[in-house]
A and B are shown apart, each in its own frame.
Chain A
Amino acid sequence: MKRLFDIYYSYMKIVIAMQLQYRASLLIWAFSSLVWVLIPLVVWVTVAKSQGGQVGSYSSGDFAAYFIALLIVEQTTFTWVIWEMGERIRSGQLSPKLLRPIHPIHEDVAWNISYKAITFALILPSALLIGWAFHAEFHPHVWHIVVFFPSLISAFLMRFVMEWTIGLVGFWVTRTSAINQIYSTLFLFLSGQMTPLSLLPRPLEMLANILPFKWAVAFPTELVLGRLTPTQVLLGFAIQASWLLVSLIAFRFIWRLGISRYSAVGA
């Protein structure tokens, strides 16, 4: 444990230093995260206003709050590992990572956390600003906010392991970008990023319940807005935990299978 802590600490120190060298790129990425949330926000607020201020159970202030919470959740939980794993396997860049006496996933987790530690410095003030500009209305209880943080951590873990495991498809398929594309599209619609899931047609909403995406994004988002009952929250945690477990099992299994196929091209 102390060893892992030491490794994470060293990774993060370095990654932060490295990221800060590329301030412009950092700004652009953070900005693009903002745009991804601003677009549906503006659309839904406009729709709500044109319909007399309400769509389903959401007022325009609710929409603003929803997308601000979503921004925080998405920013915390998103990864780029599917794309990166595919690239690494294809080009042989995985090899040096395999020679190190630590599983490569740790480097990615540390990298991800470090990146976010920096970008949050830009995202948080922007979120406040957007909230003020669009008159966001939050009505959570204290307990919602307290359990929001563990739900966020478990969403991060679940999403990370899941996406890392999907990235392992690269052992079998040379170009993973198509898979990444399908995954991202499904994710976009069924995680609640485009619209609150309760506004989707019933069958789609059901589908979202079955798939893991909602539990990584919409669940913590609705939780912090105070829209969930204690029972729903408990259920959400249980489903998150199940998906995490499934992902971990799949990860171990697919990693073992994949690594035995790895041909370490080039390197």
Chain B
Amino acid sequence: MDSIVTVRALRKVYHVPEREAGVVSAVASLFNRKTREVVAVDSIYFDLPPGEVVGFLGPNGAGKTTTLKMLSGLLYPTSGEALVLGHYPWRRERKFLQQITLVMGQRTQLWWDIPVIDSFEMYRAIYEIPHKQYRHTLDELTELLELAPLLRKPVRNLSLGERMKCEFAAALLHRPRVLFLDEPTIGLDVTMQARIRAFIKEYNQRYGSTVLLTSHYMADVEALCKRVIVIHHGTILYDGDLLGLVHRFSPEKTIVVELREGSFDLSHFGRVIEQDGARVVLRVSKDDTPRITSQLLANLPVLDLTVEDPPIEEVIGQVFAQQEVA
């Protein structure tokens, strides 16, 4: 099937005014304005097929948000091309805007002083949602996100978690086909994160919408995305399976051994990263794993043994750390 999002050689350069601290340089900058070029996104390529949920990963300042802003039409790219549902996003054609949404965890799109339901009503008018469909979608969202007790409250009186739920509902009232989610769970407690996550999954399955999501919480990514795109310093380091990322970037495996008794010193098998009585967690190189596993089984009173990939969070951390060194 055709791609919903196509990105080709997309690039964004910001011109940032720059000056030294202090009054003298402040005066000097009046006459001689210096700007520095910051390459936020440096010629990236990717495609999103319909219905896919893709995680967009990278440290702060990697270019994730800039990319999302370009794809949702807030920013003009410096060069390159992006097509979303067959539209150039930055032209912000009505047909395009009616089919996408951008949710930013740290920004509100609701009107601060009025009850949530009034904001929703505004969105109904702005997005030309037929009354019948509006009521249906609203009921559905109210149920999925348990909004009923919140609808009559002004937005400023909501807690962050409550507001995020309403934010999501508002962003989805027009049933967008493409969702750009920028840190949708930031600042939320674990329960609320799980709730939002489940909701995104449910929405994606129900409507087959395409989702591009950034998050600092690996749990979000693991729960929602089979595929991830890793971006760092504006360039794409990896685009593929989440599992593939681990295989490719992590040279190690984790072996968890449970022994029948007492404390053995296992440090000559590999790096001991955790020891809790008879339970030992070892980190060994991928190539040595089969050999070490059989040695452990042969020489020790092993009750249970599992081989795992290291946590994705750690792998990602390693990816970025390697890049810094390189």
Which A residues lie at the B interface, using CB under 8 A?
3, 6-7, 9-11, 14, 17-18, 21-22, 92, 95-96, 98-102, 259-264, 266-267
Query: Using a CB-CB cutoff of 8 Å, which residues 104-121 of chain B contact chain A?
Result: 104, 106-109, 111, 113-114, 118, 121
Q: Shortest beta-carbon distance, A10 to chain B, in Å?
A: 4
Select from chain A the residue with minimum beta-carbon distance to B110: A96
A17 touches B118 (CB 8 A): yes
- The range of chain B's interface size is 20 to 34
- Residue from the list B73, B102, B126 in contact with A102, Cβ < 8 A: B126
Q: Which 7 A-B residue pairings sit nearest by Cβ, starting from the closest?
A: A101-B97, A10-B125, A96-B109, A101-B94, A264-B74, A267-B107, A260-B76
- Residue from the list B74, B94, B121 in contact with A95, Cβ < 8 A: B74
Pairs A–B under 8 Å by Cβ, sample size 24? A3-B128, A6-B125, A7-B125, A10-B124, A10-B126, A11-B122, A14-B118, A17-B114, A18-B113, A21-B113, A95-B74, A96-B107, A98-B74, A98-B92, A99-B74, A99-B97, A99-B100, A99-B101, A101-B98, A101-B126, A262-B74, A262-B76, A266-B107, A267-B106
Q: Would you call B217 an interface residue if the criterion is a C-beta within 8 Å of the partner chain's C-beta atoms?
A: no
- A266 to B106 CA separation, bound complex (whole angstroms): 9
A10 touches B94 (CB 8 A): no
- A267 to B74 CA separation, bound complex (whole angstroms): 10
- Residue from the list B72, B90, B118, B128 in contact with A99, Cβ < 8 A: B72
Chain A residues positioned under 8 Å from B72 (CB to CB)? 99
Which B residues lie at the A interface, using CB under 8 A?
14, 69, 72-76, 90, 92, 94, 97-98, 100-102, 104, 106-109, 111, 113-114, 118, 121-122, 124-128
Chain A residues positioned under 8 Å from B73 (CB to CB)? 98-99
A18 touches B111 (CB 8 A): yes
Select from chain A the residue with minimum beta-carbon distance to B94: A101
- A203 to B257 CA separation, bound complex (whole angstroms): 95
Q: Shortest beta-carbon distance, A92 to chain B, in Å?
A: 8
- A101 to B124 CA separation, bound complex (whole angstroms): 11
B107 touches A95 (CB 8 A): yes
Select from chain B the residue with minimum beta-carbon distance to A99: B102
B121 touches A262 (CB 8 A): no
Select from chain A the residue with minimum beta-carbon distance to B182: A267
A100 touches B97 (CB 8 A): yes
- A264 to B65 CA separation, bound complex (whole angstroms): 10
Q: 9 more A-B contacts (CB under 8 A) besides A9-B125, A96-B109, A101-B98?
A: A3-B128, A7-B126, A18-B111, A18-B113, A99-B74, A99-B100, A99-B102, A259-B76, A264-B74
Chain B residues positioned under 8 Å from A92 (CB to CB)? 107
Q: Shortest beta-carbon distance, B234 to chain A, in Å?
A: 15
B92 touches A263 (CB 8 A): no
Select from chain B the residue with minimum beta-carbon distance to A266: B107
Chain B residues positioned under 8 Å from A6 (CB to CB)? 125, 128
B75 touches A267 (CB 8 A): no
Select from chain B the residue with minimum beta-carbon distance to A11: B122
